[in-house]
Amino acid sequence: MLSDSMCRGVEEHIPNLTAAYVHPGTFLRRSLEQHTGRFDRVTREALVVVHIGTNDVASVLSPAAIVGQMEALIDQIQHGHAEPLYVAVCSIVPRAVDNEWTRPTVRETNRGFRQLCQQKHNCIYLPTGTLFLKKKNTDQLHE
């Protein structure tokens, strides 16, 4: 699993989780640098869950740029594997600090993540943000 601070402590709740790389405050571009070569050691079929992008929304990046960086990260994860390396991309969850500028960015980015995953091989989009919206809740981290 690759994540920002949203998934801190996830390994305590998923007993068979092979690895959790949790980097509070991370951005997609930084994750590309931090994880270069990390997935080269995976020698069998595996699933990588990516929950990154919340901090990118707060930056000046456009939804298209965020989606482009997610695509680069997916390509890096899947590069050069004989066995399938599946990638599950989580949606960006709503935050209490979202405003009239960031809310549309979250929506457009999530739409872009969904479309990207439909186009990529062995990639699925997980609409995790809808869990928060159904309960009219936010991530409770970025308050």
Whether 86 is covered by a domain: the verdict is: yes
Dihedral angle computed from the Cα positions of residues 131, 100, 140 and 34, in that order, rounded to the nearest 10 degrees: 90
- CA–CA gap between residue 133 and residue 91 (Å, rounded): 12
Whether 141 is covered by a domain: the verdict is: no
Range of the domain at 86: 2-134
The CATH number for 100's domain is: 3.40.50.1110
- Per the structure, the count of domains in the chain is 1
Whether 139 is covered by a domain: the verdict is: no
**Chain segment 69-105, per-residue pLDDT in tens:** 999 989 988 887 777 889 999 998 877 777 888 889 9
Whether 45 is covered by a domain: the verdict is: yes
Q: Which of 81, 84, 90, 77 is nearest to 124 (CA)?
A: 90
**Chain segment 19-43, per-residue pLDDT in tens:** 656 556 677 888 878 766 777 777 7
Helix (H) or strand (E) holding 50: strand 46-51
